[in-house]
Every structure is written in structure tokens, then in C-alpha cells.
């Protein structure tokens, strides 16, 4: 799926920016999970609380971004 700012599907630049922000957060989650997968079992156990904190932060950001995107789509 490709998005561009002059697409008829995108009603505002703000919506496009919100989608980009949402994508950035998803990439952070992917990065955290890939880093976790590349660690050995013992190191994974020691880093578990750090990973949980990062994923909790991403979850909070995702919820906020989704709420904002939902509000924007209702206004359109």
C-alpha cells in the first residue's frame, strides 16, 4: 500500500503525518523485538524489564496515535 500527499484517499496532511507517526512507533516495536531475539537466553532474562518498559512506552504511544487518527477520521 502506498500513500502520497496528493492521493484522493488522504483528506488532510495531518492524517498523513499521523499515519507516519504510527508507522514509526511500529518500527520501534519491531526493533525492540528483533534486538530481543538476537540476545542469548541469559542476556534476554537480564534485559527483560528493559524490553517491557520499551514496549509499554510504545503501547502508550500507539494508543495515543490511534486515538488521534480516529478523531481525525471522524472529522472527515
pLDDT value at residue 71: 81
Report the alpha-carbon distance of residue 65 to residue 22 in Å, rounded.
6
Provide the pLDDT confidence category of residue 1 given band limits of 50, 70 and 90: very low
Half-sphere exposure in the Cβ direction for 65 (13 Å, CA): 18
* Domain residue ranges of the chain, discontinuous segments joined by +: 14-75
Q: What value does the mean pLDDT take over residues 62-70?
A: 87
Residues in the chain: 76
Residues 11-63: tens digit of each pLDDT: 677 778 888 888 999 999 999 889 888 888 888 888 889 889 999 999 999 99
Comparing 5 with 45, the larger pLDDT belongs to 45
Per-residue cell: 18: 499521523
* Angle (nearest 5°) at CA 16 between 15 and 21: 95
Half-sphere exposure in the Cβ direction for 68 (13 Å, CA): 15
Amino acid at each position: 500500500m502506498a500513500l502520497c500527499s496528493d492521493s484522493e484517499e488522504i483528506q488532510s496532511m495531518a492524517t498523513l503525518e499521523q499515519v507516519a507517526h504510527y508507522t514509526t512507533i511500529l518500527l520501534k516495536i519491531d526493533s525492540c523485538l528483533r534486538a530481543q531475539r538476537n540476545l542469548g537466553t541469559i542476556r534476554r532474562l537480564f534485559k527483560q524489564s528493559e524490553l517491557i518498559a520499551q514496549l509499554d512506552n510504545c503501547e502508550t504511544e500507539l494508543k495515543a496515535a490511534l486515538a488521534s487518527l480516529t478523531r481525525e477520521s471522524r472529522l472527515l
